[in-house]
């Protein structure tokens, strides 16, 4: 999870993941979306691959990259825990507020 979190902390890598989310792309294809060099994109892709967030398929001299969503599963689960706890706390507060309003109406 730590490697995935570090990988997606960088905005360029998040954008690369968006680009390769639905289809395979070469480094050249990906680099066209950025104002950085192909070697810089290759370094970002290496970080994403090391974090197991993309797969790499070699075809001749070309390397094709595609997002590997299951690589984000542990990080997603961890983050969902925050939402779940927050939503539960919100539900309790809403219910408490509704109960207080009903009580106040009865006491009038």
pLDDT tens by residue, 60-102: 999 999 999 899 888 888 888 777 777 777 778 888 888 887 8
- Between residues 97 and 27, the one the model is more confident about: 27
Average of per-residue pLDDT across 26-38: 96
Average of per-residue pLDDT across 36-58: 96
Instruction: Mention every residue, 6+ apart, whose C-beta is less than 8 A from residue 17.
Output: 8, 48, 53, 54, 67
pTM for the predicted model, two decimal places: 0.74
Per-domain boundaries in the chain: 2-71, 72-106
Residue 24 pLDDT class (50, 70, 90 cuts): very high
**Is pLDDT above 90 for 44?**
yes
What stretch of H or E contains 90? Answer: helix 73-106
What is the reported pLDDT for 19? 97
- Between residues 104 and 49, the one the model is more confident about: 49
In CATH, the number for domain 2-71 is 1.10.10.10
């Amino acid at each position: 999870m730590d490697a995935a979190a570090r990988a997606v902390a960088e905005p360029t890598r998040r954008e690369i993941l968006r680009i390769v989310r639905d289809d395979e792309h070469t480094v050249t294809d990906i680099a066209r979306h950025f104002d950085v060099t192909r070697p810089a994109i290759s370094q970002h892709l290496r970080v994403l691959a090391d974090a197991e967030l993309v797969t790499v398929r070699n075809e001749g001299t070309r390397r094709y990259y595609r997002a590997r969503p299951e690589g984000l599963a542990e990080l997603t689960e961890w983050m969902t825990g925050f939402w779940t706890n927050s939503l539960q706390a919100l539900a309790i507060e809403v219910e408490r507020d509704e109960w207080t309003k009903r009580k106040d109406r009865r006491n009038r």
